[in-house]
Amino acid sequence: MAIRISTRQPDFEARFAALLATKREVSEEVDAAVAEIIADVRARGDAALIDLSARFDRVDLAHLGIAVTQAEIDAAEAAVDGPTRAALEFARDRIEAYHRRQKPADERYVDSLGVELGHRWTAIEAVGLYVPGGTASYPSSVLMNAVPAKVAGVPRVVMVVPAPNGEINPLVLVAARLAGVDEIYRVGGAQAIAALAYGTETIRPVAKIVGPGNAYVACAKRRVFGTVGIDMVAGPSEVLVVADGDNDPAWVAADLLAQAEHDAAAQSILITDDVVFATSVEREVARQLETLPRADVAGASWRDYGATIVVRNLGEAPALINRIAPEHLELAVDQPDELLVLVRNAGAVFLGRYTPEAIGDYVGGSNHVLPTARSARFSSGLTVLEFVKRTSILRCDVDSLRALGGAAMALARAEGLEAHGRSVGIRLNL
Amino acid sequence: MAIRISTRQPDFEARFAALLATKREVSEEVDAAVAEIIADVRARGDAALIDLSARFDRVDLAHLGIAVTQAEIDAAEAAVDGPTRAALEFARDRIEAYHRRQKPADERYVDSLGVELGHRWTAIEAVGLYVPGGTASYPSSVLMNAVPAKVAGVPRVVMVVPAPNGEINPLVLVAARLAGVDEIYRVGGAQAIAALAYGTETIRPVAKIVGPGNAYVACAKRRVFGTVGIDMVAGPSEVLVVADGDNDPAWVAADLLAQAEHDAAAQSILITDDVVFATSVEREVARQLETLPRADVAGASWRDYGATIVVRNLGEAPALINRIAPEHLELAVDQPDELLVLVRNAGAVFLGRYTPEAIGDYVGGSNHVLPTARSARFSSGLTVLEFVKRTSILRCDVDSLRALGGAAMALARAEGLEAHGRSVGIRLNL
């Protein structure tokens, strides 16, 4: 059973701080194993991928091939029913439309001293997308990562996905094709990250790696960071629902369970100003769990990490929201914008009573890759910006260099960097 | 003496690849020491800062105080001469003007299905800025990090700077005041990073830490990442100058040496299509080194990591530039924009013969915190975006939820996430 705390309790601050401090991830000690795997892939390339995939995924890549063929993707398409394919296309189109608006603009201008300034954005030349295997192999995640990369203009998007016992979720292959993924390889784990970072005979290296993965994948991404770029390392998912007593408890309970069913380490929190409603929601959670296919997972998450926070009034909510810094925030009230303006820290906000978080997971159009574990205090969800980089531009002529030169030389010399000063002075006969 | 290679050499590709693969940083094994320091600061707070500062910086913070006082900053201001102060203000104003243009815009719109979408940007609530002590204690770096944070709207910018033997560069304090830094503490090393991440009695924790530092600082930043955000870990600085034979060899040599004087591990590379010019530049480098105060540093950098690449024609340059992915790129030709459009990977570009890189270090207005070690392939220099984060917004009403709901439920069920589907269906009586 989830905990219940209330701002009326004299020890509320201690209880709330304990809730914030809850660790939901067991950090596995995989560093040594990952270092060995990466070294093996760097030394032996494809041969290492074949051996490691046989060991970890029980798949014979020497026979099947490392690359997934177009014929295999065709076969996957044939295996997907029409409505599901249409839903994937609908999601792809909406994600693309939303992310197109994020493309940053170049700029060039001349300032009052005659200095030309500006910047250019360019797409990263090659991006690797890690897709987990097994039950966490979500086609929606393929769309959420690959579509923004393609919108950014990345010419080469490379997907890696493990094929345990030779199998890949056909929906993942179809989503990859719909998103415009250029190459697909059936490797997973730290070995796939190593292959993307350093290249093998079959897999050319990329410049950045994105996408979720298990402890081995996360550790490998940290290790290759610097050689390539990486995205954030995502933790278990979480939702914070702020709801007044005018909501249907069953709707709110459904939203809490939608988050909880992801992972036993997921977290669902309810903030409400209505203690009777809080009890109704808790009862509804128990009731809906009875018929939920993933009741074991969702039940464990709710029992171990679920929480209800009863506040005196919803004016107390923003301060709590900002300290929790939730990945997903639902504001299930009549005037959600009044609360929204006070929200600083949240990955995504879902406004009103008719916007369950699951809409954002699939077809809202916004991205479902969002900051977890309170990192919305300092980071953002996935956008097109993740796939571009910026070059700043500066241009002086002799007159504008003269206008800037004295100050530059003064600062260079104040910092003891004489050659810096000389590189300016020599052009101005100073 | 720097190496010289040429695209006419039959083994050019191997030589160029070797140049790219050159490691310029010795990775010190400091991880265990850093872990211990962080644990000590978390356990003992200020007392640990006092003990560690006594040991590493030979300074008695129990007596001096951890916080730098306004009176001390006043004294620093009195110690700085007028022209240097004016140069700092000039730099501050130009950096501020350039970065104001980077503030990203919020957006809200309703799409054709009636779904409201958008995003909001908010400033990070508190940012820590690490400033190295000793010779690398640059006031220009204080401006380059703190001004964008303040432009972003960060309400609390906290600077930490070690005070070896009790001393802090007065220019650093003046730059901090000019940039609007809110708090300054005289602690450095891994202990300063730990204090910023976890807080002590005197230093409240921040949400993100930026700024350059030594191996201990870099290691500590990696370790606290997750608890707080961090910026990129910067390596030794580098410049690539592309110059035709119409340049004054002395100007180009001065630019190469300006980079080399930063650090014995800095790297200066010249690409030219004129072999006679290449020789003239090499001679000029040797001649200018004779009178350079930091000749030991600059000479070692040029000897160990300097390189001249002679190309058949400058049309060969862009492919080489993009593989080098330099932090700084000078295009010292008559029509630099013709090359610029072909440049994908560079932190900052300096156009034409009158834009020495040093202008960008101080008063150009653009940021001098730029991606090193080939990371311009996947990352960008410091901008206002480093200090804000984005919250995405989604809002449906019953009609737009109905328009999206079927596809969302189809995808949820295809992914085996029944509770996701239910959270949509329950609102639509499906």
For B1-55, the pLDDT digits (tens) are 799 999 999 999 999 999 999 888 767 789 899 999 999 999 999 999 999 999 9
pLDDT at A137: 84
Binding residues of B are 130, 191, 214, 237, 259, 262, 328, 361, 415, 420
Identify the DSSP state of B286: H
* Coil vs helix vs strand at A422: helix
Confidence grade of residue A198 (pLDDT, cut at 50, 70, 90):
very high
The answer on pLDDT for A150 being more than 80 is yes
Q: Which helix (H) or strand (E) holds B337?
A: helix B336-340
Q: What is the pLDDT of residues A62-76, one digit of tens each?
A: 999 999 999 999 999
pLDDT at B64: 96
CB of A106 less than 8 A from some CB of B: no
Chain A residue at shortest CA distance from B406:
A87
pLDDT at B1: 76
Helix axes B170-179, B139-152, angle to 10 degrees: 20
Q: Closest approach of chain B CAs to the CA of A69, in angstroms? A: 23
Nearest to B389 among A262, A340, A379 (CB): A379
pLDDT at B141: 96
pLDDT at B25: 74
Percent of chain A residues past pLDDT 70, beyond the cut: 100
What is the mean predicted confidence (pLDDT) over A9-38?
Answer: 91
Domain limits, CATH 3.40.50.1980, in chain A: 31-105+122-230, 235-377
Cβ contacts of residue A364 below 8 Å, gap of 6+?
A: A94, A98, B115, B117, B394, B396, B404
CB of B101 less than 8 A from some CB of A: yes
Q: Closest approach of chain B CAs to the CA of A183, in angstroms? A: 19
ipTM: 0.96
CA distance B323 to A393: 19
Count the alpha carbons within 13 Å of A194 in the hemisphere toward its beta carbon.
24
CA distance B53 to B68: 14
Kindly report the CATH class assigned to A235-377: alpha beta
Contact residues, B window 344-403, toward A, CB-based 8 Å cutoff: 344-367, 370-371, 373, 375-381, 383, 385, 389-398, 400-401
The answer on pLDDT for A12 being more than 80 is yes
Cross-chain Cβ contact B251/A426 below 8 Å: yes
Pick the CATH number of B3-25+235-364 from 3.40.50.1980, 3.40.50.300, 3.50.50.60, 3.40.640.10: 3.40.50.1980
Residue B266 contacts residue B296 (beta carbons within 8 Å): no
What is the mean predicted confidence (pLDDT) over A105-114?
Answer: 97
Chain B residue at shortest CA distance from A362:
B408
Domain limits, CATH 3.40.50.1980, in chain B: 3-25+235-364, 31-105+123-230
pLDDT at B10: 97
Does the active-site annotation cover A282?
Answer: no
Q: Closest approach of chain B CAs to the CA of A142, in angstroms? A: 12
Chain B residue at shortest CA distance from A335:
B395
Fold for the domain defined by B31-105+123-230? Rossmann fold (3.40.50)
SS (H, E, C) A273-321: CCHHHHHHHHHHHHHHHCCCCCHHHHHHHHHHHCEEEECCCHHHHHHHH
Cross-chain Cβ contact A419/B138 below 8 Å: no
State the pairing for strand pair B3-6/B307-310. parallel
**Average of per-residue pLDDT values in chain B:** 96
Catalytic pick among A327, A330, A357, A386 = A327
- Please state, in angstroms and as integers, the Cα–Cα distance from residue A105 to each residue in A75, A100, A148, B415, following that order: 40, 12, 16, 36
Locate A369 and state its tokens: 């890759």
Annotate B166-206 with DSSP letters as a single string: G---HHHHHHHHHHT--EEE---HHHHHHHHHH--SSS---
The structure tokens 């402890």 sit at: A215
Q: What is the pLDDT of residues B349-407, one digit of tens each?
A: 999 999 999 999 999 999 999 999 999 999 999 999 999 999 999 999 999 999 999 99
CB of B236 less than 8 A from some CB of A: no
Return averaged pLDDT per consecutive 10 residues of chain B, 430 residues in all.
94 96 80 95 98 97 97 96 97 98 97 98 98 87 98 98 95 98 98 98 98 92 92 89 98 98 95 98 98 96 97 98 98 98 98 98 97 96 98 98 98 96 96
Cross-chain Cβ contact B401/A340 below 8 Å: no
- B-chain residues near A400 (CB < 8 A): 354
CB of B96 less than 8 A from some CB of A: no
- Please state, in angstroms and as integers, the Cα–Cα distance from residue A205 to each residue in A68, A197, A212, following that order: 17, 5, 19
Contact residues, B window 139-178, toward A, CB-based 8 Å cutoff: 139-140, 171
CA distance B230 to B222: 8
B334: exposed, middle or buried (C-beta count within 10 Å: 0-12, 13-18, 19+)? exposed
Q: For domain A31-105+122-230, which architecture applies?
A: 3-Layer(aba) Sandwich (3.40)
What is the mean predicted confidence (pLDDT) over A343-371?
Answer: 97
- A-chain residues near B385 (CB < 8 A): 385
The answer on pLDDT for A17 being more than 80 is yes
Q: Which of A88, A327, A394, A409 to mutate to test the interface with B (most CBs of B within 10 A)?
A: A394
Q: What is the pLDDT of residues A73-91, one digit of tens each?
A: 999 999 999 999 999 999 9
Cross-chain Cβ contact A229/B378 below 8 Å: yes
pLDDT at A430: 87
pLDDT at A408: 98
